[in-house]
Amino acid sequence: RIPAPLPRLTRRQLSVVRELAQGYDIATVAAHRGRGLSATYELAERIRERAGLSEWQQIGPWAVEHGLADSNGHENSDDPLESR
């Protein structure tokens, strides 16, 4: 079976993905980014939908599994998913 292609993510989405991969929750990500909680949940929801996941809590493990970040949230230097 051929794996589904990974979704294209914006720089902002990728930075949220990496913070979630580090184990931060939405409230912490919002605080780090200086954004409101609801706006950060909406952003996580868009990422979740693009990734085909059922819950935002799956984003971090999904990112690690697909090489977008390691478990410390460090980016993969070869990032094919970033849309410019």
Q: What is the pLDDT of residues 60-84, one digit of tens each?
A: 999 999 888 876 656 554 444 444 3
61 vs 17: CA distance, rounded Å: 10
pLDDT score, position 84: 35
Q: Taking each helix axis as running N to C, give the angle between helix 37-51 and helix 11-21, from 0 to 180 degrees, rounded to the nearest 10.
A: 90
| Residue 6 binned pLDDT confidence (cut-offs 50, 70, 90) | confident
Question: What digits encode the pLDDT tens for the residues 37-68?
Answer: 999 999 999 999 999 999 999 999 999 998 88
Q: Is the pLDDT of residue 36 over 50?
A: yes
Specify the pLDDT at position 76.
57
Six-digit token string for 4? 């589904």
DSSP state of 2: P
Closest alpha carbon to 17 in 52, 51, 36, 35: 51
Identity of the amino acid at 63:
A
